[in-house]
Every structure is written in structure tokens, then in C-alpha cells.
Amino acid sequence: MRRSESPGEIDEGLYSRQLYVLGHEAMRRLAKTAVLVSGMKGLGVEIAKNIILAGVKSVTVHDPGNTQWSDLSSQFFLSERDVGQNRAVASQQHLAELNSYVPVTAYTGELSESFLAAFQVVVLSNSPLEEQLRISDICHACGIRFILADTKGLAGQLFCDFGENFVVDETSEADPVCAYVQHISQGTPGVVTCRDRQGHGHGFADGDFVTFSDVGGMSQLNGCKPLAIHVLDEFTLEIGDTSSFAPYQRGGVITQVKVPQLHSYESLRASLAKPKIKAMDDRGCSLHLAFRALHTFTAEMGRLPRPRVQADAERLLELARGLTTHQELLDEGLVRTFAHVSAGELSPMAALLGGLAAQEVLKAASGKFLPLAQWLYFDALECLPEQGTMLLTEESCAPRGSRYDGQIAVFGADFQERLGRQKYFVVGAGAIGCELLKNFAMIGLAAGEGGSITVTDMDTIERSNLSRQLLFRLRDVGKLKSETAAAAVRRMNPTTRVTAQPHHVGPDTETLYGDDFFMALDGVTNALDSMQARAYVDSLCIRYLKPLLDSGTEGTKGHVQVVVPHLTQPFGSPLDLTESAVPLCTLRHFPSTIEHTLQWARDEFDGLFKVPAENVNKFLEDPAFLEVQRTTQDLEGVRSSLQEKPHSWQDCVRWARQRWESLYHHTILNLLHAFPPGQETSPGVPFWAGPKRCPQPLEFDCNNSTHMEYIMAAASLFAQMHRLQVPRDRAAARETLRAMAMPPFQLEVAVRIPVTEEEMEEMPTGVDEEQLAALRQELAEHRQALLERGCGSTHLMEPIHFEKDDDSNGHVDFIMAASNLRAANYGIAPADWHKSKRVAGRIVPAIATTTAAVAGLACLELYKLVWGHQDLDSYCNSFLQLAEPLLTRFHPLSPLATYKYGQETWSCWHRVEVPGIGAHGEELTLQELLDQLQGVHSLPVRTVLCGVTILYASFWAKQKREAQLACRLTQLVGGLPGAVWPPRRILVLDLVCEDQQDDDVLPPVHVWLPCG
């Protein structure tokens, strides 16, 4: 079942992107899990939001306390009118609207043992240590998974106890590792030599379990039960006793098998004194002691340490010292700073810890991915003002009765005003964009006089967005994302000054997002899927010297990169989130994975049902179609499409059957003729080995479901493309197929099949001009005849554009059948409908937990940008993988030398700036510009370019040079192709100098032109 049609089934239309992260079985387990989240401040509501979007069985939110002003700086479902009201009760309705499948209940009473027994997972946030210990003891004894999460200002903690016998079914998100066998020794143990598809190391880890397939000779290994391996080096590993097996001959694939693992966890009480801390270091130990001391301080004083009150900080430090005998492990400066900020409530910290904690809830519910063992501590104290730039005091951090009191406690009131004045551009209002905007509203970005947020996104809301994009509801489907998101954040914080626009950002919208727009900004945030679009936005930030926060996710992986003018390198696509192209010869002739056959099928879809129709329509509607340079293949395709025009369902079935025979029988026989099964590339080295799988032709069978699925899907799409309205009758198709007699196979002679990319490039591309002319003449006469009979419009076709999100259109059905048939040719395991849809649709797996965490990390960097930090080491790029769980932060790199002239080098941020108005008060001529470049910047110019157009070249004739030099700059560029109106304020020019060396690249020239 592809879509939920009955109770208990997974709603794949809603959860499609998350299903590609967790899988169906994990999702079914989620739907059976009742979760309690106690504490409805910013962190608690983040956790609840994420797990409700994920689709657990039910969520009960608990909090005995009432809303305070300081809560509003991070609790996005509370407002000023809720101050004094119970936090859980006030939040319940908002949370319930997130997912109609998840009942949400508010509870304000005591967490008794009998009450807790109703839940499979319990999450505590914002609770005293005594309560944590009591509930942890109950959960540990009763087999209830227990999670503790807390944030205090710029520090956070996370603890997990999933019991003493917790089974993890799948520890990682990565696909199973696969390698190609080159040799297996007979011995105790047997040694396997293998490489990956690119000839690199095998990629296995010590202790992995593996199985084998397609091994020649030592066939006892094929399909064996999972074997534990011991890695010797990057190309060899041991697998156990192979001494009694037959000698290895050739081939074979070794594949990782993910086996369940049993994990044991200590209770909170047992773990406090000797904690197992993720990335155990002195900082983690100090934070552990600081949080413990904070509980003691709160119990003793009845409050948290007051911001910037030294006596409170010293008392907390004294308490922390009393908890350890290893004073040298205690970072006293860290503890003091922690005390100063611990009264704070920050939305970015809640978003980060809320994403991490919610993913642990999903692990506890599903057994999918490796849980935290057992403590994680995080701090971002580097977000505070750099030393010597701003002195925070008790007075500046004192509460004001403001919705930002939780943030003022950390950064002070002046910083809050600075946040309010910011002007930011948010590019994209999808999952990350929604989370960023929510955080911006909470922290008060652009909520003051002079502030502004512009958010742009041309997409509309789809139902599949609702499981991870918190600002949208079912009633919003079909509306613009940007407008809906802007309206939602205004409801969260009515003072947020946000403007929505429905545009993409690209060269064709530079009139909208040009010089004036960008120069007024304080910064830009990328919330885009496309690497190309993200790189384009980065190029604008370089041009206008604006900081950029770039974020991206894929499943449980995410990254944040901060780009600061003159200080860091520009945007670079994270290696772990990019794909490498598959060689064309692999797709056409030598697939080795189901991904290869799916990509081939996706290309086949366009080649059969989109491109031919587009070409026929152009041929019929555009008289100049035949005059434009066309390939013989294009014109033969038009002729074939016209000749193949079907008149009945039977015609469509016959076409599909002939296509089937060509692809899965004849093509394979031709390939085997060129490269027989026993062929060797050199003596003793078989051609069909390693990634090259020897194919076998298929024989058509009406009773084979995959064969019939191909016929039905291909014939239906063929009929649709030809605008033929006929019933898609399977029984009639079978009758037609049984009555068909296929012509015998004819070998294609003198056809060269390329084996490598180099051979593909060497293939002759010459055109038989005589044949091409004859084909043009034939088609021109055919078109004339159609027009004279008035039949031109009846031959127009319907190009079919692949659409992945309409499960009823048959597109994925065709691709799955086409791919699985090709997989059968090559002995590759087939893919189910869901994997076929993901690969063919290039769907990026996504889940709300990762999005929330990434947005939180991005906003922590935003704090530093607003402060204006100048120390490179205060900024952090981040990479996280919640499945493991892994969170890595590292300092950005300084910009590299991009430009060079003589002995001088500059980074990408450098430009030669020239005022466009001369001393006489008039706009510069080109001659005056060259004089300035020579006199002020010592640049003897030989050539001036604007884009790809040459404005001046010293080798031009004297008359032409003089005429050009006398022109004003706006005269020169106003008539260029693509010139915009009104003209730019910054004219960007490229130079070539007289004495420039081959390796010299000059920075661009920015000429500041007069306004208006």
C-alpha cells in the first residue's frame, strides 16, 4: 500500500520524506509509542513539536508551572496573553494542530508511578535533580525509556537511559558497504582481498558482519549467514575458516549485513558520579559538574544564579569544587561563565537540544539508529561578546518585563536592541527556512525600529511538507510557502517585521535583489536544497560583502557553514552531502547497483515520453524547426514518433512489447556478442569481473508480474503521450501479447560498445550530411502533407514530465518495472516501489529533528555576526549526524588567495573600488577610469570586460578605441545584452593588464555609479 487508506497504515503522502530516513518498520513502532514530555518551556516544546511531527502514537505534555515573561524568548507556542497561565495547557492546542494522527494531552498533576506506567518513553526537561532521580528510578525499574534534557543559557545537557537490554536493530543511516572480491584464500582464517567500485579500499570496519554472493569456485560462501570480519588493511580482511571450501576462482561481491545489537544503560542515579560523556574531555566534565552544582544552588537559594552577579558565580564554583576530588579537571572560568548565563532561555539552544533529544526519543521508540551512551554536553559560550568589546553587567542583563528577558539575561539589553535593528534576507521557506524564521521571531531579529526580514520562496505548500515544516498546516496546502511562513511568525511574535516574496534568487531576478537591496542588508541565510542556487547566493554575498549562514540537511545529517567577509572562506558544498555522477558507459552497458538501473530507467522515461513529444510539437508548430541544427537522432525520433502514432490500446501494447524485446533481450544479446561471458581483458583476467556483471537476456512471460507491469505502464504512458483516450485493459493486453509474433533477433554488426568514459568521448560524432539533408526533406514534405490535409493539430503530442508526488500517474510504476527488469538482466536485487520513487525522484530524505538542530546551530552563529566578532576562532562550522549521534564543530578556514598580480595576492573578498564620479562632479568616462586604475592602483589596463562583453581592448583600431574611451560608463553598459533598468549602482568590471602573467588573475573592479 503506497498511501494510508485505513487506520493503522502509514500515511505515506504525509510522511514520505521521513520514511526514507526511518523506514516502514520503524515508523510502525513509532505509531505504537506513547510519550510523556515534562516541562513546557522552550526546550520541552521543541522536543514535543519534533516527535509529534514524526508521528508517535500520542504525546502528553506536562508542566505544573505557569508562563513567565522569560519563557517567551524560546517557547514559540506561548504569547503575552499566556503569562500567568499554565504552560502545558496553553501549549496543548497549538501542538495538537501539528499532526492530526497524534493526540496531544496536557497534564498538570504529579508524575506518579501509576501515571508513568502508561508511557513507553518519558522525557524530562526543566525539573529539579530530586525529581529527575525519582522518575529515572521508576523508569529504569519498569522498562520505560528515560531521557533527560536541559538548557541553561548557552549550555545544554542530554542523558539517555534505555534500560539494561535495549536492542538496536540498525545502528547507522548509511547503506550497507559493498565491495568486489579479487581473491579469497583457503585457510584459518581465510583472507579476502577486495576493493570498492572505484578500485579504492573496501570500506569495512573491524567487527562488521558480511555475506557473499556471485563467488566463483568457493561457492560455499554464497548466501552464507552473516560472518564477523577482522580488518587487516584497506584492501584485505579475515572471515574465519575457509580451509575446507573449494578453491576461489573468480568474481564475487561482499556485502555488509546490519545485525541487531544489544545495549545496556545505567540509571541516572548510577551514572551521575561516573558519567559516560560523549566526546569525554575536561570541558564535558566541567559542564557535568556545573549542572550538578546548579541543582544544589537552586535548592539552596530557591532560584538560579543571577546574571552577572559575581557572588552567585563564586558560590556555584564552590559547589562544583565540592563535587570532585580532581580539581585539575575543573575549568573554573567555564563554571563562572556558566553561572552568569544559566538564568537565560535561548531559542537556538532549545532548537539544537530539542532536535537532539527528539531524535533520541525516536530511537527509543523504534530501535532505529544508535542511541546516545549516555551523556552529551554542549556549550556555545563563544557567542558572548569578544573580550574587550562589551562589558555585560548585572544591570544590563536584569529582567525588563519583556518577552526577551530570557535572552537579555545572557546578552544584555543593548544587544537586544541591536538584534531588533537587523536586516536579513532568508532565501527559502521550506523546512530549514521555517525553523530559522521561528528562531528569528523568538530572538527578536528585526523586531525593532529599522529592522526587516525578507523571505522569498516561489514554491507552494504540499502535503508532504507538513511532517517537518512547523509553520504550515493542512489548511495551507496550495498556498505560497513564503507568505504562509511570514504570517505564522507574525503570530508568534507580532513585532517581527517580515516581508514575504514569491521569487527565486537568480540572475533573472537581479532587478529585484540588486545593489540597493543587498547593500541595505546585514546578512543572508540560505535555506535551499540546490547546491547551484546556494553557490549563486554566496556569489552575491561576496559581491556585496555580506555575511552568509548556509545550512543543509539530508536525513539525520546536517551542516552549518558561516561565511564572514574577509575572515572566512566562501561557501563550499559539504562533501558528505553531494553526489558523484555515474559514468554514462556504466548506466548504458555495465550497471552494478540498483541505483544504476533506476537512473537508467529515469533517463528512459524522458527519452520515451517527454523528449519525442517535445520535438514533434516543435516540428509541427515551428516552421524553422528543420532549419536549426539538429542531430540525425533528433530527426529520426520525430519520424518514428509520427509513424508510430497509435490508434488503439492494442497498438500501444504492441509498441510496449517491441520496446521490451529490444531493451531486455536484443540489446543484451548484442552486448554478449561484443563481450562473451568467457572473454578476458588479458590472460587470466576476466572481462566480466568486479563491478562488471555479466548479463543474461530475458524471455518475455505474460505470467511474470514485472513483465506485465512494464507493458501496462509503458503502453499507458505511450497512449497518454499520443493523446489517445483508451481504457487501460490488462485482459485485452494479454490477448494482444499472446497473438503477437516477435521478429527474430538480428545481430548489430560493426557496432562499437565503449567500456570506459575515455572510449565514450572517442566515439565518432561525425554527421552524414547527405543523410541528414534527405531526412530534412522527407520530414518537410510530410509536414506539408499533414498541413494540407488539416491534420497537423491531430498529430500534436503531450510531453509527459516526470512527477514523483502523484502516486496515481504511473510514472514511478514504469520506472520501477523498467529498472527491475534491467536489474534481472544483470543479477541485481530489485528495488521496491518506495526506493524506486526516492532514487528516480531524487528525493532528499528529511526529518524534523535534523532541521531543528541545524537551525539552532545557525542561529548561534547569527549571535556572533550581530556582535560583529572579528576573531576567526570564535566562529564554528558544524556537522551533525543524529543517527550516531555525532556533533562536530570546527573553526572556519581563512580565505585562500584567489587573485594574483605580480607578487601580490588577494582573497575572493578583495576588489578594486573606484568612485564613479570624478573631481569635476560628473560620471567617469572610460578614459578617466583607466587613468584612475593606472594612477591610483598601478594597473596598466589592456582589456576591460563587463561580463563576457569587451568594453575596451588596446589592440582595437585607434578610432574605435578613442570613441569608446570618450563614453561615459553607463553609456557603455546600458546597451549590453541583459542590461538592467534602473542601472546598477555598482558596475563590476574585469581587467587584463599589459604586464599580466599567465597565472595572474586580477580582482574585479567595482565602480560606484551615481544614484538614479
For residue 65, what is the DSSP state?
S
585 is catalytic: yes
Number of Cβ within 10 Å of residue 841's Cβ equals: 18
Number of Cβ within 10 Å of residue 200's Cβ equals: 11
d(CA 348, CA 436): 9
d(CA 505, CA 829): 42
Q: Which of 142, 224, 585, 967 is catalytic?
A: 585
d(CA 978, CA 976): 6
Alpha helices in 662-729 (DSSP H): 667-674, 705-721
* Dihedral Cα 118, 123, 124, 130, nearest 10 deg: 60
User: Greatest CA span in the chain, whole angstroms?
Assistant: 100
Residue reference for cell 526529518: 847
Cell of 1008: 560606484
CA 982 to chain centre: 37
Closest CA to 818 of 641, 594, 648, 582: 594
Residue reference for cell 545502528: 171
Three-state secondary structure call for residue 85:
coil
Three-state secondary structure call for residue 599:
helix
Termini Cα distance of the chain: 61
Cell of 284: 564535558
d(CA 352, CA 560): 12
Strands 253-257 and 209-213: antiparallel
d(CA 733, CA 708): 9
**Residues whose CB is less than 8 angstroms from the CB of residue 774 and which lie 6 or more positions away in sequence, other chains included:** none
* Burial class of residue 793, CB neighbours in 10 A (0-12, 13-18, 19+): exposed
Let me know: does 776 contact 785? Beta carbons within 8 Å: no
The upper half-sphere exposure of residue 1007, i.e. CA atoms within 13 Å in the direction of its Cβ, equals 28
Backbone angles phi, psi at 942, to 5 degrees: -105, -40
Let me know: does 83 contact 73? Beta carbons within 8 Å: no
Alpha helices in 763-921 (DSSP H): 769-788, 811-826, 833-840, 848-867
Backbone angles phi, psi at 562, to 5 degrees: -105, 130
* Dihedral Cα 993, 995, 999, 1005, nearest 10 deg: -20
Active site members:
585
